Amino acid sequence: MKERMNQLESVVAQQDNTIQQLHDEMFRQQQDISRLLRRVEALESRIGELDASEEVAGDEKPPHW
């Protein structure tokens, strides 16, 4: 009976460790996702600015004409 209790305590300790590792990884992934979303938003903004400047420049003739 004592050995069975020790085995169960060992299993619970391993499960607690696994849960903590999964929590830490999920937290790290959420930070990565947030960082990547900010970068995507910044890139979308820059692309929007480039599109706006191309519309103006698209009406002008190149300097070699």
Query: pLDDT of 12-51, one tens digit each?
Result: 999 999 999 999 999 999 999 999 999 999 999 999 988 8
Q: How far apart are CA 40 and CA 33, in angstroms?
A: 10
Nearest residue to 31 (alpha-carbon basis) of 23, 41, 20: 23
For the record, the structure tokens of 44 come out as 């979308």
How many residues in the chain?
65
Q: How far apart are CA 39 and CA 33, in angstroms?
A: 10
Q: Quick check: pTM over 0.75?
A: no
Q: How far apart are CA 29 and CA 17, in angstroms?
A: 18
Q: How far apart are CA 5 and CA 10, in angstroms?
A: 9
